[in-house]
Amino acid sequence: MHSRSLETITELSDQKSIQLDTDRLIKKHIDEISFLFGEDFTARLKIKIASEFKADNQSFIHGDAHLDNFFIDPEKSLIQIVDYDDLRLGDPNADIGRAFASMESWLHAFDVEAETGEALKKSFLSGYSSKRNIENINEINMLRLRLFVIQLRSFFASELGLSLIMEGTRINKSAVEMLNDKTRTKLSGKEERALVQARFAYQEITEYMGEDYTTNENLISDTEG
């Protein structure tokens, strides 16, 4: 899809369509979780994202290319991609970033061995590169953030996330045990994965800014709080 020429339909495209993913990230999603980072960090994050948006290329894009929309038939070596509701003209790097971030989050949530995870990510990039050159790695890295921001927003809108906020509990390595002690109930597998993904998402956003997420004074931390 990304490799097809748009010469015959260039007039259908405009900068507004191409910039949609970045605008959503800067103007909507980040503001919804700014309470996690503070005003200064949020402002600097927006500036950096805007500076790395180039939109040098355009094509048809899926618009929501996370792993839940990829179905695999291992016997036929077939991958079927579904959910084309957001199909539009746009920056193909948005699809790459979304898919890659989804893969990283999934590997982290299910505690996949690092060697296996790296091999999977390398295979994904190699397969994509065989059909279309990957350009502007910085932009792809930036566009990964949209999924991480959405994951954080969803987590803190959930019952578990809200309860942690109300109790002042940090999202650290012992947060699950702390919550279990208070509620006398065990978190479901889905809730535990959501907690792990929230921590990973926060880590990726802060590291994108060149900061150490383990030492920041904020709601989510690797240290006891």
- pTM value? 0.76
Q: What is the CA radius of gyration of the chain?
A: 19
The pLDDT value recorded for residue 171 is: 59
The pLDDT value recorded for residue 102 is: 93
Split the chain (225 residues) into runs of 10 and give each run's mean pLDDT. 51 53 72 84 88 75 87 80 85 88 90 89 87 80 88 88 72 53 66 86 89 57 42
The pLDDT value recorded for residue 20 is: 63
The pLDDT value recorded for residue 184 is: 47
13 close to 6: Cβ distance less than 8 angstroms: yes
Q: Please, how many CA atoms are within 13 Å of residue 131, restricted to the half-sphere of its CB? A: 11
Domains, the chain, ranges and CATH? 15-208 (3.90.1200)
The pLDDT value recorded for residue 179 is: 53
The pLDDT value recorded for residue 104 is: 92
Q: Report CA torsion sign: 24, 11, 53, 135.
A: positive
How does DSSP assign the chain, residue by residue? -TTS--GGGGGG--HHHHTHHHHIIIIIIHHHTHHHH-HHHHHHHHHHHHHH------EEE-S---GGGEEEETTTTEEEE---TT-EEE-HHHHHHHHHHHHHHHHHHTT--HHHHHHHHHHHHHHHHTTS----HHHHHHHTHHHHHHHHHHHHHSHHHHHHHHHT---STTHHHHHHHHHSSPPPHHHHHHHHHHHHHHHHHHHHTT--TTT--SSS-SS--
